Structure 1
Amino acid sequence: MASAFPLQPPVDHTPRDRTEIVIGDDEPSRVLQTLSSDTAQKLLDVLSERPRTASEVADAVGTSIQNAQYHLTRLAEAGLIEAVDTWYSSKGREMTVYALVAEEFVIQFSANCHRSS
């Protein structure tokens, strides 16, 4: 039976060239904690190729979909990736498509951070 929805239509998403992430006193480690995970780094690498669903990312890095979804959620909360589209599985289930928010990330420490004298 043919689906009424295209399963994987093209995703119209162009990440910004660069985004700056400022690490400050108010939220000093969320981004760094998220990026400290080898799995999160692998997911970012896979998403740098093209937007993908959680199941595609999981397959590409050899992890469970639950583990991939956990890291995708943390990467999205840290502002490194975003949901850019929705695809439908052959069973009609919605699947979120994720992509990088930028091609290049620059992490800076704010001037308010404590400095040694």
Structure 2
Amino acid sequence: MASAFPHHPPVEYAPREQTSVVVDGTEPTDVLQILSSETAQEILGALRDEPRTASDIADAVDRSLQSVSYHLDRLRRANLIEAVETWYSEKGTEMTVYALAAERLVVQFGDTGDRSV
């Protein structure tokens, strides 16, 4: 029996070209700490090619859904990923689709006047 809900409709999303993180000693940034996690790095790698749901990411990086959800929340709060779509499972459950927020992350030391994160 076919579901009334689409499972994986196409996602029309293009990340920003670049996000900059400025390390200048005046304001703390959590981005480097968040990126020090192997799981966070694997999640970013899994999102490099296409947007995915938390469960798709968990399968791709061979981690628990709970662990992936924790890291997705941290990456989202750091503006490294974005929720770009909502898909529905065959049972009608809403699933958030995540994508990279930017194609490149640049770490700058000192105040450049241009803070993206």
**Structure 2: distance between partners of 1:79 and 1:107:** 14
Partner of 1:56 in structure 2? 56
TM-score (norm 2): 0.88
Count of aligned pairs between the two proteins? 111
Using the size of structure 1 for normalisation, the TM-score is 0.88
Pairwise CA RMSD:
1.5
Equivalent-residue separation in structure 1 for 2:3 and 2:110 (angstroms): 51
Aligned partner of 2:97: which letter? V
Please list every run of 5 or more consecutive structure 2 residues that lacks an aligned counterpart in the other structure: 113-117
> Share of identical aligned residues, percent?
59
Q: Is residue 17 of structure 2 the alignment partner of residue 17 of structure 1?
A: yes
Equivalent residue letter for 2:103? E
> In structure 2, what residue type is equivalent to 1:63?
R
Shift of 1:91: 1.2
- The alpha carbon displacement at 1:22 in A equals 2.0
Unaligned runs of 5+ in 1: 113-117
Quote the offset at 1:75 in angstroms.
Answer: 0.3
Q: Describe how 1:1-117 pairs up with structure 2 within 5 A.
A: 1-24=1-24, 25-26=26-27, 28-111=28-111
Check whether the contact 2:23–2:111 (CA below 8 A) recurs between aligned residues: no
